[in-house]
Structure 1
Amino acid sequence: MQIKLHSKLKLLTVLIFVLFIGTNSAFAQINAVKNLPKYDNQKYHFGFLIGFNFADFKITHIPDFATADSIFRVEPLGQSGFNLGIVTNMRLAENWDLRFVPDLQFSQRDLEYTFYVNGSPESTEIKAIESTYLNFPIDLKFKSNRVGNYRAYVTAGVKYGIDMVSQKKVENLDSELVKLERQDYGYSIGVGFDFYLQMFKFSPEIKMFTGLRNLKADDPLIYSTSIDKLNSKTFLLSFTFE
């Protein structure tokens, strides 16, 4: 629990710092000479994305979990990872864009199991679950009016992902293995800033993804049977260059 809290505090600190820098930079650019003055008149823009994610689970326990014989508690432990993607942006209107940003997401999520030993919750095991997702997100982007070389924006959209290293179909001869479904989907919301530089547009963004699919694969081992549902919960701090 302390590891999980420490990781979340570090992530929150980074996000607050990025927002603080972005806001102060925006005020500094109000009276600046406009860079890329015709940029927003173009129908399409392309670029690339690099990002840092914090992947976690939302756990729903089985109804009779409290009466389980051997497992006392199951807790998710989020871990950090990174994303690499390609940006395709289509202008819909003055303040509206449609964005398709397929990316590779390298992430890890841990599950911490606490077992009963002689009637007391003493033994703890952590199961690491690594994933490499090929994601296909589609987002609607609403932008504020441009002020100097700056815009603020919000996004909302949906995402479908395929775990390229899913072990769902692997024969589970190793009791350490926790299987997940290969495909995931859900919705996301985000907020960010567009900074118009001399040669390109730079955009830091914070996005939260909530998975709607139950990722727990059918498996008779105790590590899976103690859980009813596993849903994705991911935070992404990204930087796009367009």
Structure 2
Amino acid sequence: MKRIVFILGFLFFYQGLFAQGFFNRERIINLENFDKKRWSWGYYLGMNFYDFQFQYELNRDEIESERNMGFNIGLIGNLRLNDYIDLRLEPGIVFANRNLNFPGFDERRFSFREVEANYIHVPLLLKFSTKRLNNFKPFVVGGVAVAHNLSSNEDNPSDNSAGQFRMKDWSTFLEVGFGIDFYLDYFKFSPSIRGVFGMTDEIVPDNNPNSPWTGNISRMETRGVFLNLTFQ
């Protein structure tokens, strides 16, 4: 994961330098008045890599969290505030999957839990852009999001003793990222990378306070990376 983030960051940085050099020559400007519109709309497709960050009551063997690739899809509503700042609402659906391996068990049916999370994910973001460089414009984005986990099992009376790992229905996130707007002939295409940092404790403890699964967890938060392709 760190290697993917490093490579994408290098490519975006290199593309910015390349745009300032080679593309400063006079070229045909695509969608010249696109960013002058008060409102604009679009959609995004992408993939995600979600993980958990645990805090523990006691210093014991840690839970192993295995991230898997998931998918995102959603809509974009963009409000232009000025030439360099936009306010964006990006409601979408996030399909995420993580595997947990709990220490202290000899049998996999007790130690392994597959955690599926299908979020209705609604971020409110500020997008800060540089000056447009011909048909390119780098940007950074940041904000907060609220999410409803449709697979949470929060109200399920069964817990890990019956094979059910439970999470809370609602959670909040901090999101920060960067990308580049590419102005093509008929639409604006924007690849971006974004970090997602949970601000809510998402664990629902087992009914037994001394549970071997959740008894030593004081807090569980989501961490993730989004790789999005945006079309406007």
TM, length-normalised to structure 1: 0.84
The one of 88, 100, 111 aligned to 1:111: 100
How has the CA–CA distance of structure 1 residues 147 and 20 changed in structure 2, closer, same or farther, with 3 Å as cutoff? closer
- Give 3-state SS (helix, strand or coil) of 1:167's partner: coil
How has the CA–CA distance of structure 1 residues 142 and 85 changed in structure 2, closer, same or farther, with 3 Å as cutoff? same
> After the TM superposition, which residues 119-130 of structure 1 pair with which residues of structure 2 at under 5 Å, given as runs?
125-130=111-116
Letter in structure 2 aligned against 1:222: P
- Give 3-state SS (helix, strand or coil) of 2:8's partner: helix
How has the CA–CA distance of structure 1 residues 114 and 232 changed in structure 2, closer, same or farther, with 3 Å as cutoff? same
How has the CA–CA distance of structure 1 residues 10 and 80 changed in structure 2, closer, same or farther, with 3 Å as cutoff? farther
- Give 3-state SS (helix, strand or coil) of 1:73's partner: coil
Query: CA–CA distance in 2 between the matches of 1:124 and 1:28?
Result: 59
Query: CA–CA distance in 2 between the matches of 1:199 and 1:94?
Result: 21
Is 1:154 matched with 2:147? no
> After the TM superposition, which residues 53-92 of structure 1 pair with which residues of structure 2 at under 5 Å, given as runs?
53-62=48-57, 64-66=58-60, 72-92=61-81
Aligned residue for 1:229?
Answer: 219
- Give 3-state SS (helix, strand or coil) of 1:236's partner: strand
Aligned residue for 2:193?
Answer: 206
Check the 8 A contact 1:104/1:132 in 2, yes or no: yes
- Give 3-state SS (helix, strand or coil) of 2:201's partner: coil
Letter in structure 2 aligned against 1:40: D
CA RMSD, Structure 1 to Structure 2 (Å): 2.4
Is 1:36 matched with 2:26? no
Identity of aligned residues (%): 26
Letter in structure 2 aligned against 1:136: V
| Structure 2 unmatched ranges of 5 or more | none
Query: CA–CA distance in 1 between the matches of 2:214 and 2:79?
Result: 43
Greater strand content: 1
Check the 8 A contact 1:114/1:123 in 2, yes or no: no
Offset of residue 107 of structure 1:
0.3
Offset of residue 164 of structure 1:
1.1
Check the 8 A contact 2:16/2:138 in 1, yes or no: no
Offset of residue 81 of structure 1:
0.3
Check the 8 A contact 1:215/1:230 in 2, yes or no: yes
Query: CA–CA distance in 1 between the matches of 2:226 and 2:199?
Result: 17
Aligned residue for 1:4?
Answer: none
The one of 99, 108, 116 aligned to 2:88: 99
Offset of residue 222 of structure 1:
2.4
Letter in structure 1 aligned against 2:62: R
Q: Which digits, 9 at most, give the CA deviation of each residue in 1:141-181, with x for residues without a partner?
A: 11000010010000110000000121111121663221111
Query: CA–CA distance in 1 between the matches of 2:182 and 2:18?
Result: 9
Letter in structure 1 aligned against 2:143: G
Check the 8 A contact 1:73/1:115 in 2, yes or no: no
Is 1:51 matched with 2:56? no
Aligned length: 225
Check the 8 A contact 1:83/1:106 in 2, yes or no: yes
Query: CA–CA distance in 2 between the matches of 1:153 and 1:10?
Result: 22
How has the CA–CA distance of structure 1 residues 123 and 61 changed in structure 2, closer, same or farther, with 3 Å as cutoff? farther
| Structure 1 unmatched ranges of 5 or more | 1-7, 67-71
TM, length-normalised to structure 2: 0.88
